[in-house]
Amino acid sequence: MTTTETPKTVLAPTRGARFTGAAANYIDERTSISGLVKELGRKIFPDHWSFMLGEVALYSFIVILLTGTFLTFFFQASMADVTYAGSYIPLKGVDMSAAMNSTLNISFDIRGGLLMRQVHHWAALLFVASIGLHMLRIYFTGAFRKPRELNWLIGFVLFVLAMAEGFTGYSLPDDLLSGNGLRIIDGLVKGLPVIGTWTSYLLFGGEFPGTAIVGRLYTLHILLLPAILVAALGIHLVLLVINKHTQFAGPGKTNDNVVGVPIMPVFAAKAGGFFFIVFGVIVLIASFFTINPIWTYGPYDPSPVSAGTQPDWYIGFADGALRLVPSDWGFMIGPWTFSLNIVAPVLVLGLFIVAVAIYPFIEGWVTGDKREHHIADRPRNAPTRTAIGAAGVTFYAVLWAAASSDLIATHFGLTIEGVITTLQYLLIFGPIVAYLVTKRICLGLMKKDREIALHGYESGRIVRLPGGEYIEVHEQLSDYERWRLISYDDYKPLMLRPDAKGRISVTERLRAAMSNWFFEDRIAPVTRAELEQAHHSGHGAIEAAPESEPAQLH
Amino acid sequence: MAQHGDGVTAPEGDAVHGSAVTTALAVSHQTVESPGTAVVPTDPVINPGFPPHNPRMTDLYPEKAARAARQVAILFYISIIGSIFAVAAYVAFPIVPGDPGSIRINNALLGIGITLGLLGIGLGAVHWAKQLMREDESVELRHGTRGTDATREKAVEVFTLGNNESGIGRRSLIRNSLIGALVLTPVPAVALFRDLAPAANPVPLLQHTMWKKGTRLTRDPDGTAVKATDVTLGSAFHIIPEGLNDREDALEQKAKAAVLLMRLRPEDLHVSEARKGWNYEGIVAYSKICTHVGCPVALYEQQTHHLLCPCHQSQFDITHEAKVIFGPARRPLPQLPITIDSEGYLVAQSDFHEPVGPDFWEREL
């Protein structure tokens, strides 16, 4: 392979090269950028399809910024009353807010406006979805372990910000559905103990719906939240560079190296190309699939609502939580109303989200492992973590399904009561079942891996031995294949021991209990001795078979 | 060191005391990170090292490489064509007012052009990287994330110097008064947000609606009055108070005052003693604003006389004074007492006797 330096030194510089050189020199003399290029230009980036999920999030965010900027040139964040006079005939002469009016104009009177709106909305949906999948990837491969706990936390903040961005953006057109969404937020906020009434009053600038909320959400949507998001994203990426990317276990890959492609040129080409692919796919979807057709809903009015209305997918879990509360949850404390039907789902969601945010610290505390981890786990090799994750996913999925309880009932011809009651049970028992099943599957897979690593895999080749016995030949893995199966971290439960003062603290007891829960079922990785022994006895088995046969005949 | 190798517990960091940071850095100086409860294998299988590299077709056959290069260039040309096509479509297919088809065509053609412009570059670049760029994996060594001991010593020195030269650790009067001042500075900013909402207390606003004695029940949205004789058995009307549409705050009022009007057979109604005179010959009026989180309870089931909220599926039984029979709502829908005026139009006897809509802390009922 030739290096890029060769032409610079040997050949007489062409005109293009002279220009590039002069430009590079100009910039470097003013920015010292050569240091940065030297440091980062050949940084190694591991390759795996699942590492692209975060990239999808990043690229869809860029698409959101680009299209969102276009939309701001035409959108009017005002709830002033206007009469629609645009091209969409069915709404001609209808009174609506300036926000709704300008959104309709973007859709119907500005060429490409509808496309940009739809690209913006689809990209937003993809943004939240890809962050969610990216988080699941990080979780299930243990990529949140030291030194990446803080970056997990920042990523979590990004996820929350993305949902907040989504919700504020969804509310801006001031159409019937978004207004109804705001009504739900208003009711939710009002139900909070002590602060509810005033919080809603301040948020909406008076009674619901008021004339302030769209303008305020707009400021949050295009200024405050994006500013925080971009800052957090910047830190997220800087920490990514500092920590370097994780990699999956593989031959030659260790905890102390990074194996992959250099940023210049391969990663830059692949990642840059991937940006265009993500962008292109979003535009393609937006060209042919309508999203949020506000013109069919009409302007906001507190009175009508159509059945089967739903929030954007990422708010679904919160809406589902509201739906699953049984009747009559609430009570009076003296003269005050305590709305448990609001407080309970808010608390449950709050605890769920906090649990997600602090999980890396809990696991770190339980294992007490202070080493850096750069090899991503295969999910099966951390059975308890994977099972907890499956339980969390199930919990989320049930809440999410609950947000469509009415549609589930109508589509499958079920009663709404039956669907809700089933989901209520599923919310509690589903995660438990998912936990148990997943843990068993993981342990089973680990056993299978161990078996294959030691004794090889079934080749499907049946051999008849001279004595007449049939055996299936087991093929051994190559050392490279085997390494992927057997290189993982193994933990054992914590042994409780008294501290220097001869006492066992409560936290240490808790830690031991959790450690036991995490690691009491464990499949130890294959050791060298076991491997050598298996190879010897394995070869022996085939050779010994004819000798053992007469014994069976007797 | 801790008892059983569970790691060094660094002292709690105190942001104010530079000295605490100093000790935290100094203590973890030169320690090997504890593996905790991890089992450090004594007899591990040895990493076999990198597998042999398999060259690609494009590495082995120059003609394959040339073909791949042509493909990459073709993809880039497709991108150029797509971008030009998008501009052409923008000009050639304008939006014709009143013709929804023109919007669809504009959207689709512009979208296809931009899509090709983007995908051409994207697929071309990835194809180039995968087929033609050097593909064997490179290796880079990781170094611990923590700074080197020398760097950390320097950092400690900076903090120590900062502490010594400013005296922030020593001069507790200055330090504590500064903390007090910093804590209080955001308070004016918080106070400034009071005027996000008007001065008036929201609670009385939430406890009353536009309805008062003699207000006619009118149809939503056109505002025409309803006679008792219009309301046939089994029918349901969406109702707003008379004069609502003329008000500046029509939406705010409507969000509280919207009502559903239904006529049932009087014998189907189970009326409590206190509400004896609240219906008019089986015509009942209930708040349309759900007591859960305020969606309009817009779905009326004629046969069972149940009202269903489409948002969260709370169900109310109109025959039993709108009590909750399913779903997350906690309270029945408030009933509007109605009667007829001298001309036979339905009117309210009074406002609702309790606040309508979602629960709130100061509701008192």
What pLDDT, on a 0 to 100 scale, did the predictor assign at position B16? 36
**Is the CB of residue A344 less than 8 Å from the CB of residue A329?**
yes
DSSP state of A78: -
* A323: in domain: no
CA distance B86 to chain A (A): 10
**Same domain, residue pair A17 and A135:** no
Work out how many CB contacts closer than 8 A connect A with B: 390
Asked if A21 and A136 sit in the same domain, the reply is no
Mean pLDDT highest for which of A402-406, A528-532, B116-120?
B116-120
Strands B338-340 and B335-336, bridge-based pairing: unpaired
Domain that holds residue A463: 440-553
Model confidence, pTM = 0.91
Task: Specify whether A18 is located in the same domain as A105.
Answer: no
Q: Which of residues 215-254 of B touch A (CB under 8 A)?
A: 220-221, 238, 240, 249, 251-252, 254
Q: Which of A108, A208, A308 sits opposite B103 (nearest CB)?
A: A108
Q: Which residue has the tokens 């965010």?
A: A61
Do A27 and A72 reside in the same domain of the chain? Answer: no
Give a yes or no: residue A109 inside a domain: yes
Residues A29 and A172 in one domain: no
- Which overall architecture, per CATH, does domain B205-348 show? 3-layer Sandwich (2.102)
Same domain, A30 and A165: no
pLDDT at B10 (0 to 100): 35
pLDDT, residue A544, reads 40
pLDDT at B112 over 70: yes
Is the domain of A19 the same as that of A96?
Answer: no
Identify the pLDDT of residue A287: 96
Would residue A257 count as lying in a domain? no
Residues A300, A169, single domain; the answer is yes
Most A CBs within 10 A among B313, B316, B320, B323, hence the mutation to make, goes to: B313
Last residue of a domain, one of A243, A276, A304: A304
Chain A: give the shortest CA distance to residue B100, in Å: 8
Question: Do A139 and A67 lie in a common domain?
Answer: yes
Tens digits of residue pLDDT in B46-84? 999 999 988 999 999 999 999 999 999 999 999 999 999
Mean pLDDT over A110-134 rounds to 97
The structural domain count of chain A equals 3
Lowest mean pLDDT among A71-75, A136-140, A150-154, B92-96: B92-96
Q: Identify the residue among B40, B110, B245, B293 best suited for mutation to test binding to A, counting A beta carbons within 10 A and taking the highest.
A: B293
Single-letter amino acid, residue B22? T
Residue A466 tokens read as 């001279």
**Domain annotation covers residue A112:** yes
Judged by CB atoms closer than 8 Å, whether chains meet at B111 and A115 is answered as: yes
Which tokens is A225 given? 């939240």
- How far is A225 from A217, CA to CA, in rounded Å? 10
Q: CA nearest A327 in B: which residue?
A: B328
Per the CB < 8 A criterion, the answer to whether B328 and A340 are in contact is no
Q: Which residue of B has its CA nearest to A523?
A: B39
Residues 148-187 of chain B with CB under 8 A from chain A are none
The closest alpha carbon to A366, from A479, A259, A513, A203, belongs to A513
| CA separation for the pair A507, A504 (Å, rounded) | 8
**What does the pLDDT look like over B11-30, one tens digit per residue?**
333 333 434 444 444 444 44
Query: How do residues A294-329 score in pLDDT, each as one tens digit?
Result: 999 999 999 887 777 778 899 999 999 999 999 889
Chain B environment of A479 (Cβ under 8 Å): 48
Percent of chain A with pLDDT over 70: 95
Indicate whether A546 pLDDT > 50: no
Same domain, A24 and A160: no
Whether A59 and A13 share a structural domain: no
For residue B196, the chain A residues in CB contact (below 8 A) are 202-203, 205, 212
Q: What is the ipTM of this complex?
A: 0.89
CB-based contacts of B311, cutoff 8 Å, min separation 6: A180, A184, A305, A309, B290, B292, B293, B295
CA A293 to chain CA centroid, nearest Å: 27
Segment A243-272 shows an average pLDDT of 93
Assess whether A14 and A86 both reside in one domain.
no
- Calculate how close chain B gets to A32, using CA atoms only, in Å: 23
Band of the pLDDT at B135, cuts 50, 70, 90? confident
* C-beta atoms of B103 and A89 within 8 A: no
Q: Do A303 and B220 touch (CB under 8 A)?
A: yes
Structural contact between residues B105 and A114, judged by C-beta atoms closer than 8 angstroms:
no
Among B45, B238, B364, whose Cβ lies nearest the Cβ of A303?
B238
* Domain residue spans of chain B: 1-30+147-190, 57-131, 205-348
* A66 within a domain of the structure (yes/no): yes
